[in-house]
């Protein structure tokens, strides 16, 4: 599976105006900007590989800066048939647990990120949307 498959899945299920960002100039910006009923949020789409989620250091820097300003940033990951939603602040909170890998990337076992919301099929899209836009 590819991240683009995850995008295809959410674009029709998460309410609001969603735009997939393909930013070749800036680095670290999440994949999706979403706005629903006046609330804006960013979503980074990830696939869990084994038990790991991989991030670039620029993504972690974006999360940190945006969370400092109280922005709404989430990571939506897919592992097999589960969707896992994390607040970016939870990802930043465990930065010391990341393991460096090649090309300036790092990885973390997804289970080490605190406060995940795990959704099994059939996915609860309204609950996912409420967490992103209303929590």
Residue 86 belongs to domain with CATH number: 3.40.1350.10
3-class SS of residue 54: strand
Question: What is the DSSP code (8-state) at residue 98?
Answer: -
Mean pLDDT of all residues in 38-47: 97
pLDDT in tens, 70-89: 999 999 999 999 999 999 99
Share of the chain above pLDDT 90, in %: 87
CA angle 111, 32, 119 (to 5 degrees): 35
pTM, two decimal places: 0.94
Beta pairing partners, 75: 44, 86
Number of domains in the chain: 1
Query: Are 33 and 19 contacting, i.e. CB atoms less than 8 angstroms apart?
Result: yes
What pLDDT sits at residue 27?
A: 79
Structural domain that includes position 80: 3-134
Residue 26 confidence class, pLDDT cut points 50, 70, 90: low
pLDDT in tens, 84-135: 999 999 999 999 999 999 887 999 999 999 999 999 999 999 999 999 999 8
């Amino acid at each position: 599976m590819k991240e683009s498959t995850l995008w295809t899945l959410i674009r029709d299920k998460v309410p609001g105006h969603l735009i997939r960002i393909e930013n070749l100039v800036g680095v670290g910006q999440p994949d999706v900007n979403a706005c629903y009923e006046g609330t804006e949020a960013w979503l980074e789409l990830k696939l869990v590989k084994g038990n790991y989620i991989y991030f670039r250091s620029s993504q972690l820097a974006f999360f940190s800066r945006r969370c400092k300003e109280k922005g709404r940033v989430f990571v939506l990951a897919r592992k097999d048939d589960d969707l896992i939603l994390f607040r970016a602040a939870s990802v930043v909170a465990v930065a010391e647990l990341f393991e460096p890998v090649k090309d300036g990337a790092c990885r973390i076992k997804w289970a080490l990120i605190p406060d995940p919301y795990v959704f099994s099929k059939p996915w609860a899209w309204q609950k996912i949307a409420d967490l992103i836009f209303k929590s």
